[in-house]
Chains A and B, each alone.
Chain A
Amino acid sequence: QLQLQESGPGLVKPSETLFLTCTVSTGSISSGSYYWGWIRQAPGKGLEWIGTIYYSVTMYTTYYSPSLKNRITISVDRSKNHLSLRLTSVTAAEEAVYYCARQKAVTATSAFDIWGQGIKVTVSS
């Protein structure tokens, strides 16, 4: 089964840019057309969807949380078989475990059925 693995720096300074990647293993990010999302969870809090990319070989579309719209970029690198999250001007409130996940079906209206294990990001100077 497809597996996802998040990676990136575990520590980011306030006001700097967070850059995370999600590597797809035992499968290809280019196989079919899927929706790939990023979800985060602050310590002791619930899940927060932050963005999704619909990716196919011929096109992509991104959807972002309105609260992050001007600071977030999600992209796919086919050659590296991974998707990326870029979040600028981070604050301490964005300290969280960041998960990548894939939607179950190729339609927009589907649940996240495959999740990475998550990566903890600390925001501190």
Chain B
Amino acid sequence: EIVMTQSPGTLSVSPGERATLSCRTSQSVNSNLAWYQQRPGQAPRLLMYDASTRATGIPARFSGSASGTEFSLTISSLQSEDFAVYYCQQYDNWPRTFGQGTKVEIK
């Protein structure tokens, strides 16, 4: 099973600032990695797939990158609606696995 490690657990950021979230995989997943956003009381929403491709309707302030087993999600200028929990997920191998999540909170 591929272990997904997200960091930090909580990120405190002011509106308008930049946030960078990290996800490390225990082995190569190629680029088969997604990022999801989950707001309180809502289902997860796909933000990014194939490590760096924005899903339909996702604003350009969200970007993803990859280097080996290290992946990152960057939000260039945080808006109020971006304060949420973010999960990475690999879909390269079975079983599918998620990271434990990073909570982005208002500083």
Contacts and interface: CB of A to CB of B under 8 A. Distances in A.
Interface of A: 37, 39, 46-49, 52, 63-66, 99, 103-104, 108-113, 115-118
Interface residues of B, number: 26
Interface string B64-90: 000000000000000000000001010
Given A37-B96, A49-B96, A66-B95, A113 B43 contact: no
Contacts, number: 62
Nearest to B4: A46
B43 A111 contact: no
Interface of B: 1, 32, 34, 36, 38, 42-46, 49-50, 55-56, 87, 89, 91-92, 94-101
28 contacts: A47-B36, A47-B44, A47-B89, A48-B98, A49-B89, A49-B95, A49-B97, A49-B98, A52-B96, A63-B95, A65-B95, A66-B95, A103-B91, A104-B46, A104-B55, A108-B91, A110-B49, A110-B91, A111-B34, A111-B46, A111-B55, A112-B36, A112-B44, A112-B46, A115-B43, A115-B45, A116-B43, A118-B43
Contacts of A39: 44
Contacts of B96: 37, 49, 52
A10 B100 CA distance: 25
B101 A46 contact: yes
A46 B1 CA distance: 17
B91 A111 contact: yes
What DSSP secondary structure best describes chain B's contact surface? loop
B92 A46 contact: no
B49 A47 contact: no
Interface centre among B43, B49, B87, B101 (most CB of A within 10 A): B43
B69 to A, nearest CB: 16
Nearest to B1: A66
Nearest to A108: B91
Most buried by A among B34, B38, B89, B95: B95
B46 A47 contact: no
B87 A63 contact: no
